[in-house]
Copies of this chain bind each other. A is one copy, B any other.
């Protein structure tokens, strides 16, 4: 008989929520939430973009991008530049401070990785890494 708790979906959902909660706790000191990191990451890897594009890439409502961008702009982590050819558009781009913050986040995430994968052997850890990389790429996450 199949059991819910032995599916990839269930374990991934629960372990993923744990990982996100603990990552969120760590970046809280930087005044960031996971979604802010996602937005900065989209700009870093995809280059400057208008808000509606970001909303599509992140899979969130355009109105949410407004508040995320407001917050990041207040932190000087991104810039909003009005497009002179089409003045309705705001071009978002990451700043040096944004890159610095992403670096801090990377450090914290790497530390967290150590804790989270503590129970795994080296081979198991590499296998997990490989599988997650494949799935992330297939899901369209930034590489």
CB within 8 Å of B: which residues of A?
A: 1-20, 22-23, 34, 37-38, 41, 45, 102-103, 105-107, 109-110, 112-113, 116-120, 124-125, 127-139, 141-143
Q: Please, which residues of chain B bring their CB within 8 A of the CB of A143?
A: 5-6
A8 to chain B, nearest CB (A): 5
Whether the Cβ atoms of B102 and A7 lie closer than 8 Å is no
Q: Looking across the interface, which residue of chain B has its beta carbon closest to that of A7? A: B109
What number of copies of this chain does the assembly contain? 2
Whether the Cβ atoms of A5 and B45 lie closer than 8 Å is yes
Whether the Cβ atoms of A20 and B17 lie closer than 8 Å is yes
A83 to chain B, nearest CB (A): 27
Q: Please, which residues of chain B bring their CB within 8 A of the CB of A20?
A: 12-13, 16-17
Q: Please, which residues of chain B bring their CB within 8 A of the CB of A14?
A: 16, 38, 136, 139, 141
Whether the Cβ atoms of A13 and B34 lie closer than 8 Å is yes
Q: Please, which residues of chain B bring their CB within 8 A of the CB of A141?
A: 5, 11, 14-15
